[in-house]
């Protein structure tokens, strides 16, 4: 009997984790759609953990000064995984402008499944 219950528990856990991944993916897609429609960081947004779990581990940003686009690996950020993606807008800076002693904030564009540029920076 205990083997049957353990097997059912494992099956239910697997189904639950798959449902959570699906919910996280849909949350990321919904947030991207609202970002494209409104063009500004939307609150609420997925957390870093939800974005990574949903298959969107990259954040595409643009420098508000020089308009350079780059991709940020969310998993490598030194922020708690419970940080909302829209809260990163004020924390991410352009490394190109930093060399010129300027630190303009980044503009969030969208969550992406894979980096669009060859060498992303954080």
Residue 64's φ and ψ, nearest 5 degrees, are: -75, -15
Does residue 86 belong to any structural domain of this protein?
A: yes
The pLDDT of residue 122 is above 80:
no
The per-residue pLDDT for 30 is 92
Other Cβ atoms closer than 10 A to 36: 10
Q: For residue 94, is it within any domain?
A: yes
Mean pLDDT of 99-122: 74
- 108 or 103: which carries more pLDDT confidence? 108
Question: Does any domain span residue 119?
Answer: no
Number of domains in the chain: 1
Query: pLDDT, tens digit, for every residue of 55-79?
Result: 999 999 888 888 888 899 998 888 8
Element (H, E) at 60: strand 58-63
Structure tokens at 19: 């449902």
Question: Phi and psi at residue 49, in whole multiples of 5°?
Answer: -60, -40
pTM for the model? 0.80
Range of the domain at 40: 2-112
DSSP state letter for 107: E
Instruction: Tell whether 54 is covered by a domain.
Output: yes
118 located within any domain = no
- pLDDT, position 27: 93
């Amino acid at each position: 009997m205990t083997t049957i219950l353990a097997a059912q528990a494992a099956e239910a856990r697997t189904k639950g984790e798959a449902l959570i991944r699906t919910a996280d993916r849909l949350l990321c897609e919904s947030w991207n759609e609202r970002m494209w429609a409104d063009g500004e960081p939307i609150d609420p947004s997925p957390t870093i953990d939800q974005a990574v779990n949903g298959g969107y581990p990259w954040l595409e940003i643009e420098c508000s000064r020089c308009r350079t686009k780059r991709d940020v690996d969310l998993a490598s950020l030194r922020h708690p995984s419970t940080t909302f993606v829209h809260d990163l807008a004020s924390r991410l800076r352009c490394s190109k402008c930093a060399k010129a002693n300027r630190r303009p904030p980044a503009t969030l564009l969208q969550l992406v499944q894979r980096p669009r540029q060859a060498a992303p920076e954080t």
